[in-house]
């Protein structure tokens, strides 16, 4: 990516936020904050209850429940199919000493195995996919490590962001490991912007909402996706 283009985008994003005093940041921040607050070390006896408590929101359920998309419901089914194996899957995903690429690969593998077990226990089930995709896994990672990972706004927004900042390599499929690296770079330069502290200060005084700084990188990519979705085609 080209630094001057990234810095220009950051200027636009922060200026837009300060001028409009938006509250749409409430939802992602409260969602990740709740996950982090409710999460407990995985245990076969409590994993299902912990997971259900982590994925609740007073704003919206759209991150995990909409037409033909039910990752929360299906994960609960997977946990019920084999709590021991599901616990291993979650412990592996939460092991931040291992490389993210491997953790993502293994989590998908475990989910595939759990889905097969679920189908064996429920022969009439029509489920063929576990719905644990980049979007929902980004919530898991951000909830587990809110200072390191952030939410994923989807391939379209990520592609547009990469075009806007002059990246020579535009993603063609969801690549969560790459996205997290790009988001971390974006956050580094967000913090260097002269108005970042003003934005974070305004948000931190809102006692109703826990401000999670790293999520600003998700907001930045989302902003690019919305503001430039036609220009960057």
pLDDT digits (tens, 9 = 90+) for 145-173: 999 999 999 999 999 999 999 999 999 99
pLDDT of residue 231: 54
Q: Does residue 233 carry a pLDDT above 60?
A: no
Which among 83, 110, 144 is the end of a domain?
144
pLDDT per residue over 11-23, tens digit each? 999 999 999 878 8
* pTM exceeds 0.85, yes or no: yes
Which of 82-96, 98-112, 218-232 has the lowest average pLDDT? 218-232
State the average pLDDT for the chain.
94
Residue 133 sits in the same domain as residue 43: yes
pLDDT of residue 125: 83
pLDDT of residue 45: 97
Over residues 92-113, the mean pLDDT reads: 97
Q: Does residue 188 carry a pLDDT above 70?
A: yes
pLDDT band at 61 (very low <50, low <70, confident <90, very high): very high
Which among 144, 165, 195 is the end of a domain?
144
pLDDT per residue over 190-224, tens digit each? 999 999 999 999 998 866 789 999 999 999 999 99
Residue 11 sits in the same domain as residue 42: no
d(CA 217, CA 183): 5
Residue 93 lies in a domain: yes
List 69's β-bridge partners, or say none: 66
pLDDT band at 64 (very low <50, low <70, confident <90, very high): very high
Q: What angle do CA 188, 194, 196 make, to 5 degrees?
A: 60
Residue 20 sits in the same domain as residue 99: no
Number of separate domains in the chain: 2
Range of the domain at 171: 3-31+148-227
Q: At CB < 8 A and 24+ separation, what contacts does 125-132 make?
A: 127/74, 127/77, 130/71, 130/74, 130/75, 130/78, 131/69, 131/70, 131/71, 131/74, 131/75, 132/71, 132/74, 132/75, 132/107, 132/108
Give the three-class secondary structure for 207. Answer: coil
DSSP 69: B
pLDDT of residue 23: 87
Residue 199 sits in the same domain as residue 171: yes
């Amino acid at each position: 990516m080209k630094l001057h283009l990234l810095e220009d985008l950051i200027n636009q994003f922060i200026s837009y936020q300060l001028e409009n005093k938006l509250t749409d940041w409430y939802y992602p921040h409260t969602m990740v904050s709740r996950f982090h607050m409710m999460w407990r070390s995985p245990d076969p006896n409590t994993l299902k209850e912990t997971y259900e408590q982590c994925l609740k929101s007073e704003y919206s359920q759209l991150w995990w429940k909409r037409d033909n998309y039910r990752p929360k419901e299906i994960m609960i089914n997977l946990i019920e199919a084999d709590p021991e194996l599901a616990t291993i899957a979650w412990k592996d995903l939460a092991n931040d000493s291992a490389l993210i690429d491997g953790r993502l690969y293994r989590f998908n593998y475990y989910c595939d195995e759990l889905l097969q077990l679920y189908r064996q226990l429920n022969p009439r089930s029509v489920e063929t996919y576990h719905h644990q995709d980049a979007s929902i896994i980004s919530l898991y990672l951000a909830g587990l490590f809110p200072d390191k990972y952030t939410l994923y706004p989807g391939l379209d927004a990520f592609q547009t962001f990469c075009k806007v900042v002059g990246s020579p390599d535009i993603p063609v499929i969801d690549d969560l490991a790459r996205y997290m690296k790009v988001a971390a770079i974006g956050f580094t330069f967000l913090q260097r912007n002269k108005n970042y502290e003003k934005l974070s200060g305004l948000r931190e005084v809102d006692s109703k909402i826990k401000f999670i700084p790293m999520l600003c990188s998700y907001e930045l990519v989302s902003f690019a996706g919305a503001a430039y979705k036609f220009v960057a085609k």
